[in-house]
Amino acid sequence: MAEIKKINIGTKPDDGTGDTLRDAFSKTNDNFEALNTLPEKGDKGDKGEKGEPGKDLSSELDALTKRVRALEEKE
């Protein structure tokens, strides 16, 4: 799974302890790239409890599609 990088903003404004602008924007670009490529990989992850990260959403999508079709047929 893609790892999102946290930007260090320091403890106080202009205290010099946070990431430089270049490093911060590099992390931002890496984060967007990780989010953009994640769906392409089709990594469903392990099935977990409802709402747990990595849950296989394809089964949820199938169930939702069936419910929508059933509701449309009633109309």
Q: What is the pLDDT of residue 30?
A: 92
- Can you list the residues of the chain whose pLDDT is less than 50? none
Query: pTM of the entire structure?
Result: 0.49
Q: What is the pLDDT of residue 20?
A: 94
Place of tokens 């296989």: 56
The per-residue pLDDT for 46 is 53
From CA 37, how far away is CA 44, in angstroms rounded? 13
Q: So what's the pLDDT on residue 44?
A: 53
SS3 44: coil
**Residue whose pair of structure tokens reads 């931002």 in the numeric block:** 28
pLDDT at 51: 54
